[in-house]
């Protein structure tokens, strides 16, 4: 149905949003619109790679690489699945354990929460923790490209840079216009905060997938067809993520068909 077009994965979206924010702050005319950077072909959702050549073939490298990209651009989902073969992914057990640990921690600290806004800010810190190292990588690449300065080899200095960038992005996310750029961080933090603030609700392993799907759909699509409970989270009065990102959220076949017919 998508003609082989796909959103890039959540981690790559988050890193792209950070890079876009930082590059645009220095040189707004040098960046493409964020919405144009989030799409790829199915064959490249696990990362982009191309053959490298030396020796006699090096003179024809660009031609061969272009042909390789053109070929990869045509590979459908069924063929990709056949090439990957039967693979088991241990991540589900990891997510079940993670949900269990987070539920226990949320219950332990529930009395510390005073407002939804405070809960959201706590979750923002959690999301930024996950991206701290890659954010340092992005800044180091920018510094090297602009000034030719190699990254510091001191691990403690790198950790300090990570803390500084964490605090910078946290402050940036308090501004509505910046949360529109760092939308994957914002949406996921809002959804985790919703669960945490909603007394009695517990995280499930599948929520991690659902929240990542929601961040991509709300942030970069016109419509999101999902389940009733996730729509309730997205459209709650104190969330209003569908309105913030102007995304139609449907939960039934009739609603989805009605939306499509309205286009």
Q: What is the pLDDT of residues 82-123, one digit of tens each?
A: 877 765 555 556 888 888 999 898 888 888 899 999 999 999
Residues 118 and 196 in one domain: yes
Instruction: Please state at what angle helix 205-220 crosses helix 228-235, rounded to 10 degrees.
Output: 60
Total domains present in the chain = 2
Of the residues 50, 84, 118, which one is the last residue of a structural domain? 84
Q: How far apart are CA 236 and CA 201, in angstroms?
A: 15
Query: Is the pLDDT score of 250 beyond 90?
Result: yes
Residues 6+ apart with CB under 8 A from 131: 11, 14, 15, 18, 185
In the predicted structure, residue 152 carries a pLDDT above the cut 70: yes
The residue out of 84, 116, 146 marking a domain boundary is: 84
Structure tokens at 76: 């459908």
Which structural domain, as residue segments, surrounds residue 143?
91-262
Look at residues 137, 110, 136, 132 and name the one whose alpha carbon lies nearest to residue 122: 110
**Above 80 in pLDDT, residue 22?**
yes
127 CB-contact burial (10 Å; exposed 0-12 / middle 13-18 / buried 19+): buried
Residues 158-178 pLDDT 10s:
899 999 999 999 999 999 999
pLDDT of residue 86: 62
Query: How high is the pLDDT of residue 17?
Result: 97
Please give the pLDDT value at position 88: 56
Q: Average pLDDT of 178-207?
A: 94
Judgement on whether residues 129 and 42 belong to the same structural domain of the protein = no
Task: Note whether 182 and 64 are same-domain residues.
Answer: no
Query: Residues 223, 199: one domain?
Result: yes
């Amino acid at each position: 149905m998508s003609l082989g077009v796909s959103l890039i994965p959540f981690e790559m979206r988050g890193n792209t949003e950070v890079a876009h924010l930082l590059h645009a702050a220095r040189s707004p005319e040098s960046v493409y619109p964020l919405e144009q950077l989030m799409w790829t072909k199915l064959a490249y959702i696990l990362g982009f790679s191309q053959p490298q050549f030396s020796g006699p073939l090096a003179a024809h490298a660009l031609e061969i690489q272009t042909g390789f990209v053109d070929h990869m651009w045509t590979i459908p989902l069924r063929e990709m699945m056949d090439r990957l073969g039967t693979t088991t992914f241990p991540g589900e057990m990891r997510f079940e354990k993670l949900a269990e640990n987070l539920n226990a921690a949320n219950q332990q600290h529930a009395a510390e929460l005073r407002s939804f806004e405070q809960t959201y800010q706590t979750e923002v810190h959690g999301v930024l923790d996950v991206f701290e190292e890659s954010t340092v990588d992005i800044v180091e690449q920018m510094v090297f490209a602009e000034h030719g300065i190699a990254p510091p080899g001191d691990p403690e200095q790198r950790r300090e840079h990570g803390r500084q960038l964490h605090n910078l992005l946290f402050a940036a996310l308090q501004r509505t216009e910046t949360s529109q750029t760092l939308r994957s961080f914002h949406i996921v933090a809002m959804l985790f905060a919703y669960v945490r603030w909603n007394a009695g609700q517990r995280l499930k392993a599948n929520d991690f997938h659902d929240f990542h799907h929601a961040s991509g759909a709300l942030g970069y699509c016109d419509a999101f067809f999902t389940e009733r409970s996730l729509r309730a989270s997205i459209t709650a009065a104190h969330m209003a993520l569908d309105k913030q990102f102007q995304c139609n959220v449907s939960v039934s076949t009739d609603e989805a068909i009605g939306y499509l017919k309205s286009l």
